Structures are given as structure tokens and as C-alpha cells.
């Protein structure tokens, strides 16, 4: 009978080192997957911490908020800035204790709880063999013919979609509804997440896709394909970063602190560019992989503080909804 085999396969839990303390890190599946930075981070930290770093995959913030003070998480890894306000309000997180004065970010970072480990900007990515005359500015994008099709992500289900909402708001302010009205006919479809959009773009369905300034690096480094480019707009690009924080309720305060201390070290930071396809939060540009150094950089970075973004979220979403449901 095959049943015993099945039960073994199902019940087999990964061997946990018995005597070593466990650092529990909640993170999204794009981080912990085989192809994300998770495995390298785990290996790197375990090499010196004399501990067992355990990633718990899933919707990290929803989970921590549901669990409250009884959470087993020691670290929450990979939050986006659009949720830090709510995370902060829960009072569950403790200061990171790092000096953030000399980060390699295009903006100033003064948050004492949420520590950025990577960054990038939203951008529209195109294939130069298919789109010969890409828009050179946001204004040109709005004026482009309606048969130039773009795919974007839903701001209600995707962080990059929300970043676009804030990007348009920061460029156009009160004129945002007009901008959306001009953009809407060019939007082929709105997908739930980034990966569905990006898949449609690589299949040739759309001329441009809402993605990141760093996206072309993947194609260059992994596929020797230099045809994918990010359109750089003089109006500026919206800044995105992913942050980590330690829980106030951790039962491994030393380990958690050691992990937070490790994030800004060159050892950790060099993992980021080619595993996360984003820029490192603290690493001199000369130490970036060549492919990242070669990427065209926007001259202007746009960013709303946590409070501004939180206040803008609902009104901006309503504007977007109105433009797309007319």
C-alpha cells in the first residue's frame, strides 16, 4: 500500500537542529522561494549566528497583525512602505538601532523602526525591438496614441500598482484625474499582481509594462537580452523600498538584533542586486554588479512620506477607480 509513503511525504518536516536557537523570520513567498534572496540570506546568517534561521512564508503583515503579541515572528522581512503606517500603529515592532545616515538611497531615511534593505523605482519597461519610439516623458506617455498598449497592476492588490497611483499623484497632483483619463484608453488590462502583467509583456501582448527601473538588469544578466529597457521620465520616478523590522515581543532579542545589524553590512547587501533584482540599500555604487551600474538612472526621485501616502491612498484610489470604470 502506498499510504505509508504518502504519509511520510506529507508529514516529513524539515530537520530542525535541536540544540540551536531558532530565529523566525516572516517573509513573502517571492523572498523565500528558491529563486529569491531567501536561501542566500539564510545561508549567510547561519554561517555565523550559530542559530537556525527559519523563514515562515505567507502574507507576513496580515499574519502578524492577526497574531498580535502572541506572534512567533522575531523578524518581519520584506514589508513595503505602503503598509508601514499600519504596522507601526500596531505597536508590535521595536527600533532597529542602525545608523541610517549614509544609506545609498536617493532619499533621506530617518525611520527608527523599519530598516530598508533594497530599493528601486517604478518605471514603464518596453522592448526596443517592438516599440521604436518610446515616450520620453510622462507627458509624452499620456499623449501617446491609444493603440500603444500598456499593462498595469491593480493598486488594490499589488504594491507596484499602488506605487503607480502615488507616482501619478506626485507628478500631477490635482490634475491626476485628467492624467488617468488620458492613460486609461492605453491600458490593455489591469492585473492582480506584477507577475501576470510582466508575463503578458514578455509574450508580446503589451508594448509597455508597469515594472521597475531595475527590471532590464534581469534580462541582461540572465538572458543576454539587451532589448528590454525602462523608459526614464524627467518628471521623476516613484521610489520603492522593502524594509525589515524586529518584533518587540521576540523571544530571541540578541539574535533578532544580530540579524538587523547584519542587514546593512556589505556581505548582506551584495546578495540583493542579483537575487532580488533591486538596488542595495547601503553599498557604494562601485561595488554594485556591472549590470546595475550600467542601468540608466532617473534624475529625480519622487516619494511620499508614510503619513502623506496614507492620507492620499483612499482619495487617489477613488480617482483611479472613477477613471477606469467610466
Residues that bind other proteins (CB under 8 A): 6, 9-10, 13-14, 29-30, 32-36, 55-59, 61-63, 65-67, 72, 86, 149, 154, 156-157, 162, 184, 187-192, 194-196, 198-200, 202-206, 215, 218-219, 222, 277, 320-321, 324-325
Cβ closest to other proteins, residue 170 vs residue 215: 215
- DSSP H helices, the chain, are 3-11, 29-32, 38-49, 60-67, 81-89, 138-143, 159-172, 176-183, 194-202, 215-223, 253-263, 266-269, 272-276, 290-293, 306-324
Of 140 and 318, nearer to other proteins (C-beta) is 318
Q: 7 vs 136, which CB is nearer to other proteins?
A: 7
In the complex, minimum distance from the CB of residue 242 to other proteins, in angstroms, rounded to a whole number: 13
Q: Whole-number minimum distance, CB 244 to other proteins, in Å?
A: 19
- Shortest approach of other proteins to residue 6 CB, angstroms? 5
197 Cβ contact list (under 8 Å, min separation 6): 151, 152, 153, 191, 206, 209, 210, 211
- Tell me how far, at minimum, the Cβ of 209 lies from other proteins, in Å: 12
Cβ burial 200-219 (10 Å sphere, 16+ → b, else e):
bbeeeebbbbbbbbbbbbbb
CB nearer to other proteins: give 112 or 222.
Answer: 222
Which residue, 262 or 324, is less far from other proteins as judged by CB?
324
- Tell me the three cell numbers of residue 215: 527590471
Nearer to other proteins, 62 or 265 (CB): 62
The minimum distance between CB 57 and other proteins, in angstroms, equals: 4
Cell numbers linked to 169: 499623484
Q: How near is the Cβ of 253 to other proteins at its closest, in Å?
A: 21
CA distances from 193 to 132, 203, 210, 319, 320 (A): 27, 16, 11, 20, 17
Amino acid at each position: 500500500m502506498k499510504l505509508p509513503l504518502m504519509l511520510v511525504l506529507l508529514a516529513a518536516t524539515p530537520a530542525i537542529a535541536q540544540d540551536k536557537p531558532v530565529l523566525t523570520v516572516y517573509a513573502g513567498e517571492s523572498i523565500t522561494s528558491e529563486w529569491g534572496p531567501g536561501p542566500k540570506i539564510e545561508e549567510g546568517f547561519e554561517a555565523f549566528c550559530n542559530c537556525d534561521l527559519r523563514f515562515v512564508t505567507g502574507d507576513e503583515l496580515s499574519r502578524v497583525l492577526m497574531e498580535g503579541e502572541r506572534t512567533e515572528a522575531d523578524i518581519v522581512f520584506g514589508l513595503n512602505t505602503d503598509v508601514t503606517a499600519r504596522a507601526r500603529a500596531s505597536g508590535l515592532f521595536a527600533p532597529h538601532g542602525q545608523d541610517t545616515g549614509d544609506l545609498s538611497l536617493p532619499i533621506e531615511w530617518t525611520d527608527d523602526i523599519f530598516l530598508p534593505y533594497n530599493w528601486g523605482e517604478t518605471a514603464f519597461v518596453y522592448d526596443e525591438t517592438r516599440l521604436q519610439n518610446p515616450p520620453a516623458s510622462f507627458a509624452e506617455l499620456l499623449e501617446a496614441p491609444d493603440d500603444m498598449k500598456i499593462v498595469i497592476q491593480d493598486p488594490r492588490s499589488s504594491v507596484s500598482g499602488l506605487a503607480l497611483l502615488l507616482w501619478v499623484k506626485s507628478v500631477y497632483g490635482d490634475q491626476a484625474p485628467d492624467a488617468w483619463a488620458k492613460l486609461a484608453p492605453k491600458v490593455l488590462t489591469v492585473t492582480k499582481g506584477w507577475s501576470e502583467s510582466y508575463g503578458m509583456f514578455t509574450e508580446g501582448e503589451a508594448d509597455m509594462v508597469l515594472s521597475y527601473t531595475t527590471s532590464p538588469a534581469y534580462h541582461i544578466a540572465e538572458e543576454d537580452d539587451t532589448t528590454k529597457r525602462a523608459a526614464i521620465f524627467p518628471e521623476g520616478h516613484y521610489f520603492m523600498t522593502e524594509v525589515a523590522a524586529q518584533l518587540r515581543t521576540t523571544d530571541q532579542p540578541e539574535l533578532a538584533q544580530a540579524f538587523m545589524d547584519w542587514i546593512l553590512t556589505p556581505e548582506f547587501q551584495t546578495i540583493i542586486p542579483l537575487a532580488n533584482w533591486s538596488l542595495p540599500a547601503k553599498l557604494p555604487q562601485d561595488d554594485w554588479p556591472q549590470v546595475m551600474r550600467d542601468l540608466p538612472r532617473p534624475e529625480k526621485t519622487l516619494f511620499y512620506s508614510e503619513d502623506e501616502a496614507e492620507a492620499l491612498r483612499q482619495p487617489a484610489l477613488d480617482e483611479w477607480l472613477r477613471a477606469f470604470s467610466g
